[in-house]
Chain A
Amino acid sequence: MNVLYLLLIPLLPFAGFLLTGLFGKAFRGSSAGLLNTTLLLISFLLSVKVVSDYFFIHGLLEDRYVPIIAFQLEWLRFSEDLVINMGVLMDPLTAVMLLVVTFISLMVHMYSIAYMKGEERFATYFSFLSLFTFSMLGLVMSSNIFQTYIFWELVGVSSFLLIGYYFQKPSAVAASKKAFIVTRFADLGFLIGILVLSYYGNSFDFLALSANLTSYDSSFHQAAIGAGFLGISALSWGLILVFMGGAGKSAMFPLHIWLPDAMEGPTPVSALIHAATMVVAGVFLVARMFALFALGGTNVLELVAWTGIISAMMAALIACTQQDIKRVLAYSTMSQIGFMMFAIGVSGYGSESGLGYTAGMFHLFTHAMFKALLFLGAGAVIHFVHSNYMDDMGGLRKMMPVTHITFLLACLAIAGIPPFAGFFSKEEILLASYNANRIIFWLALFTSGLTAFYMFRLYFSIFWKKEKAYQNHQGEGGGLLLTPLVILGILTVVSGFIPFGNFVSSDGVPVSPHLDLKFSILPVGLSLAGIIIASRLYMKESVLPEKLSARLGRIYKLLRGKFYIDEIYLFIAKKIIFRFISRPAAWVDRNIVDGLINTSAAATQLFSISTSGMQSGKLQHYAGYFLSGVLLLIVLFIFLLSN
């Protein structure tokens, strides 16, 4: 394993971040973008090399992929046992994530050069993008949970920066704050979870934690199971809290409210961060600690599964009613991440029962491709139409042929139509849930049909429906804009055929999924039905959708209002937290804390004003002080202190 290559993978984007961030003004034209894209290309090639080395040379040991600590450095030593290291953990999960992150980031970088051309803060944009790539790579390579947390926060910061990229827009500022605060709130849980787990597991390293906390006869495991709170063991609490962090980052219900608003950022950013990579960090985290979740905590995985399926269904329902195409995609992202979550949630540990894990990661992989494609396509459309709203679009298929075809491919993939990538991963997920939990299976099936419906609603509204005349005559966009679309389109078609189970599985032993054609009939049929309904409603202009929404009345309103979850949060925040906690706290702060500080400051000021006159610069004043001092000392020592 070539450690240098491995370390260069995250460090090259970091170098790009430093260069463009510090010397942004020195870069003329598109040079900042070209520099960072080149660095990322190298990084991508290196990760291909490293990953293939891992899968075909170093990783396989007696038919099993073993995790390798490729690099380790002691960073903080708190006590004999409690050490925080900085290291690189290489296992199938890291390998897959390395490929996904570097590849999608490369595509987005390329696309951004064209998309962001002429922006005033072009270099800044690229430095943020590279910072994000660096942080995400660091996150997936981390060998211990503390290091993960550091990069986790870095990812959050870069997401914040990029959402708020158009900081002149108040809505972008609000969205970036919202994203940051919500994910921070979730990360608080994550941090406490880290403390609980590392306290009982006596280590921060993933491998040691798994070893200590999953074997039933280890004393650490006994202690972690023994201690408890509210009838739940400490180990489960730790895992639940860690999952809370993951749910926040992955926009799971009820912490999902930031994701739709995060679409205020530039569209390529949405493709990279809020669709393909950062938002799946929560899934990655659960997968990274899967042994703990599966073997350690009782019923925590069930929580994961239910959170996943509820988010998936809710998001799919909301997506059917949204008008902003990026928001539709955002809810679809949330829904698909819900799929991954519950796939992992229903999975067991070990070869056959672990299929859900493999399916979830497979879906993460394929979803990254087609969702990035969808976002980049949407970006191209927005670039062309200068609007985010479906009503302003329609009939674009003739004007944007490349975008149209690739967008269609991605829609078919997400709808789960064979032979596109989404089909394979989604079938595996459904199969795994069928074997594990029937209720979840039926809900997932319904959601899957719904997915097809809303995606094709989006597709038809953009590319078919009414013919419109557009002001724009700049064409579809240059090669740099379209090349990533085409590459991603091709991958969307072929990536489903990768025998994913051979590489990634819950315990490292390759598994092969059994795709059952008979089983596939129902989901594919449902998806086709969804597509057909969508085509009837949206392919031509018609009054049917309005009639339908009028018919549904309240339900439609509820969905349109996104289940009013934002409003509930606002109510809790404003009416309860602000009134009963923040106001008294603010009063104490203003009147007592500030009062104390201000009083002491005023006293100091008064004293200094009254004494600064002594520094007059006049010789005789000083002589006078001197004489008075001497006399005072004489009086003091001779008359007062001599008994």
Chain B
Amino acid sequence: MEIGLNHFLVLSTALFFIGVYGFLTRRNLITLLMSVELILNSVNINFVAFNKYLYPENLDGLFFSVFIIAIAAAEAAVAIAIIINLYRNFNTIDVEETDTMKY
């Protein structure tokens, strides 16, 4: 069977929900960040696959992926800065214990 669009879509969907599962279950903020990266990558796969199989005359999907990668890098940097700051203040990066925002 020829590899087609659906193969990529199923793959990216699976990756997306793996990321979501990780986001919901992990308790360490850094692992949460990793889950977010997985989610972003699954989106990238979608963009690229659509570009390739449906609109090969354009490069929009590719550009979107590039920009998402750039923004993901910025996001990761900021998130890690926040995590480090959090660690300094609370001495932990467990999400269960950093619920000060509730009050």
Contacts and interface: CB of A to CB of B under 8 A. Distances in A.
Q: Do A and B bind each other?
A: yes
Interface of A: 615-620, 623-624, 627
Given A623-B24, A624-B24, A615 B102 contact: yes
14 contacts: A615-B102, A616-B99, A616-B102, A617-B101, A617-B102, A618-B96, A618-B102, A619-B32, A619-B95, A620-B23, A620-B24, A620-B95, A623-B24, A627-B24
Nearest to B102: A617
Contacts of B96: 618
Interface in B24-79: 24-25, 32
A306 to B, nearest CB: 74
B20 interface: yes
A149 B95 CA distance: 67
A627 B25 CA distance: 13
Contacts of B23: 620, 623
B91 interface: no
B89 interface: no
Nearest to B97: A618
A273 B100 CA distance: 62
Interface residues of B, number: 12
B83 to A, nearest CB: 12
A50 to B, nearest CB: 65
B43 to A, nearest CB: 15
Contacts of A624: 24
A317 to B, nearest CB: 74
Contacts, number: 23
A616 B97 CA distance: 11
A623 B95 CA distance: 12
Contacts of A618: 95-96, 99, 102
Contact of A617 (B20, B25, B99): B99
A615 B101 CA distance: 10
Among A616, A620, A623, A624, max chain B CB count under 10 A is at A620
A616 B100 CA distance: 10
A624 B24 CA distance: 7
Given A617-B103, A624-B24, 14 more contacts: A616-B99, A616-B102, A617-B99, A617-B100, A617-B102, A618-B96, A618-B99, A618-B102, A619-B32, A620-B25, A620-B95, A623-B24, A627-B20, A627-B24
Interface of B: 20, 23-25, 32, 95-96, 99-103
A624 B20 CA distance: 9
A619 B20 CA distance: 13
Interface residues of B: mostly helix, strand, loop or mixed?
A: helix
Nearest to A619: B95
Contacts of B100: 617
A617 to B, nearest CB: 2
Contacts of A623: 23-24
A612 to B, nearest CB: 11
A619 B102 CA distance: 10
A620 B32 CA distance: 10
Among B24, B25, B32, max chain A CB count under 10 A is at B24
A632 to B, nearest CB: 15
A270 B47 CA distance: 93
A623 B25 CA distance: 10
A472 to B, nearest CB: 65
Contacts of A617: 99-103
6 tightest A-B contacts by CB? A617-B102, A617-B99, A619-B95, A617-B101, A618-B99, A620-B24
B81 to A, nearest CB: 17
Contacts of B25: 620
A490 to B, nearest CB: 75
A617 B101 CA distance: 6
Contacts of B95: 618-620
Nearest to B100: A617
A176 B98 CA distance: 60
Nearest to B101: A617
Contacts of A627: 20, 24
B101 to A, nearest CB: 5
A616 B32 CA distance: 18
B31 to A, nearest CB: 12
Nearest to B26: A620
B18 to A, nearest CB: 14
A618 B25 CA distance: 12
Nearest to B96: A618
Contacts of B24: 620, 623-624, 627
A641 B22 CA distance: 31
A173 B95 CA distance: 61
Nearest to B17: A627
A626 to B, nearest CB: 10
A569 to B, nearest CB: 58
B14 to A, nearest CB: 16
Contacts of B20: 627
Among B23, B25, B103, max chain A CB count under 10 A is at B23
A220 to B, nearest CB: 68
A160 B20 CA distance: 71
A620 B97 CA distance: 12
B3 to A, nearest CB: 27
Among A615, A618, A624, max chain B CB count under 10 A is at A618
A619 B24 CA distance: 9
A614 to B, nearest CB: 11
Contacts of B103: 617
